[in-house]
């Protein structure tokens, strides 16, 4: 459709991700690149086989080939490592065989250093997508022991860049009296991930804490609140119900929160409109404290005190 007289073998795997190109060639190329990319985006057949985030890459490669623009492919031009990188790629990375670190894949690890499978969020999660609308807070916490050298390098690069900026706009508080800012921990509480097959279902099969808490019910009240006691239900499917509120629950393994939410003894219990809580589990009781990472008015409300019923 886009190059009827062409040969698919002439379409090079270039992207451009990245590419070095003369300006005059780019001036010849850009309009066709744009037109093909936009058409691929609205082409149902293309949508079924090409993920949206790479369609403009295909648009570039097809446009360049149709105009006779050939690229010199450099095998070691870049490396795209992640938590699941194969040993050979990590060996090449260790030996410095590549010119560019193309950071696209996430580094998702559990606290014991186990890398997560695809479509997962780790207890330690180095992913640029967490910071689409906010600067990361400097410094970022270290990766867990066992994380690969690419994760360690990228973490160090982020911290080095932020630390070298004289006016970096987002810093962790210097006083213990102020709550920490969220960076790489506590990201598994996202609603969509909790509902994913790698979310609550996996926790229910692997976490002793979640197994012990599934299907429990509590009577909860708040100090100074005029409302009557509310019933909290933690269902075996990951749903949480507190009075009229419905949300999700799961493990909250975040070392930054320390004794306020100890690793292995803490849950998140989240409801819509920013009503997010961390719950330190104790025999027959729970206390739901507002998520300290939130800056909303809800974060200043009194905790819920709950007794198992």
Note whether 248 and 194 are within 8 A (CB): yes
DSSP type of residue 226: -
Q: Report the chain's terminal Cα–Cα distance, integer Å.
A: 65
Closest CA to 269 of 303, 296, 297: 303
Which secondary structure element, helix H or strand E, spans residue 203, and what is its range?
helix 200-206
Which secondary structure element, helix H or strand E, spans residue 145, and what is its range?
none
Closest CA to 250 of 187, 305, 303, 304: 187
Q: What would the pLDDT profile of 41-70 be if each residue is shown by its tens digit?
A: 888 888 888 888 889 999 999 999 999 999
The token duo for 200 is 């609550």
Could you give the CA distance from residue 6 to residue 115 in angstroms, rounded to a whole number? Answer: 42
Three-class SS of residue 42? coil
DSSP type of residue 228: P
Which secondary structure element, helix H or strand E, spans residue 150, and what is its range?
helix 149-164
The token duo for 197 is 């097959």
Q: What would the pLDDT profile of 195-210 be if each residue is shown by its tens digit?
A: 999 999 999 999 999 9
Could you give the CA distance from residue 1 to residue 17 in angstroms, rounded to a whole number? Answer: 24
Q: Any bridge partners for residue 217, and if so which?
A: 233
Q: Any bridge partners for residue 266, and if so which?
A: 280
Three-class SS of residue 189? helix
Cis amide linkage into residue 139, ω under 30° from 0: yes
| Total count of residues recorded for the chain | 309
Three-class SS of residue 233? strand
Other beta carbons less than 10 A from residue 210's beta carbon:
20
Ordered DSSP codes for 71-119:
----TTSEE---TT--HHHHHHHHTT--SEE---S-EEE-TTSPBPPSS
Per-residue pLDDT of the chain (309 residues; tens, 9 = 90+): 888 898 999 999 998 878 999 999 999 999 999 999 999 988 888 888 888 888 999 999 999 999 999 999 998 899 999 999 999 999 999 999 999 999 989 999 999 999 999 999 999 999 999 999 999 999 999 999 999 999 999 999 999 999 999 999 999 998 777 888 999 999 999 999 999 999 999 999 999 999 999 999 999 998 766 667 999 999 999 999 999 999 999 999 999 999 989 999 999 999 998 899 999 999 999 999 999 998 665 566 789 999 999
All residues at 6 or more sequence positions from 3 whose CB lies less than 8 Å from its CB, including other chains = 62, 65, 66
């Amino acid at each position: 459709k886009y190059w009827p007289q062409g040969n698919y073998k002439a379409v090079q795997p270039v992207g451009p991700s990245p590419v070095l190109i003369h300006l005059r060639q780019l001036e010849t190329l850009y309009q066709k690149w744009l037109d093909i990319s936009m058409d691929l985006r609205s082409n149902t057949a293309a949508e079924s086989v090409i993920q949206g985030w790479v369609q403009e890459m295909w648009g570039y490669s097809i446009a360049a080939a149709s105009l006779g623009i050939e690229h010199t492919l450099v095998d070691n031009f870049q490396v795209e490592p992640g938590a699941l990188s194969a040993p050979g790629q990590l060996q090449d990375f260790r030996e410095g065989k590549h010119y560019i670190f193309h950071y696209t894949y996430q580094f998702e690890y559990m606290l014991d250093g186990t890398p997560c499978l695809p479509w997962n969020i780790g207890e330690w999660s180095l992913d640029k997508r967490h910071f689409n609308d906010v600067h990361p807070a400097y410094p970022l916490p270290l990766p867990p022991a066992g994380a690969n050298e690419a994760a360690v390098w990228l973490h160090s690069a982020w911290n080095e860049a932020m630390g070298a900026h004289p006016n970096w706009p987002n810093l962790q508080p210097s006083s213990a009296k102020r709550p920490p800012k969220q960076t790489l921990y506590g990201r598994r509480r996202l609603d969509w991930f909790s509902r994913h097959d790698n979310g609550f279902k996996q926790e229910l099969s692997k976490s002793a804490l979640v197994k012990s808490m599934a299907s429990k019910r509590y009577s909860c009240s708040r100090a100074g609140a005029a409302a009557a006691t509310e019933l909290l239900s933690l269902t075996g499917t990951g749903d949480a119900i507190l009075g009229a509120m419905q949300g999700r629950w799961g493990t909250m393994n975040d070392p930054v929160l320390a004794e306020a939410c100890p690793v292995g003894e803490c849950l998140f219990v989240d409801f819509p409109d920013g009503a997010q809580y961390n719950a330190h589990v104790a025999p027959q009781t729970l206390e739901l404290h507002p998520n300290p990472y939130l800056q909303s008015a809800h974060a200043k409300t009194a905790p819920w005190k709950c007794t198992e019923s």
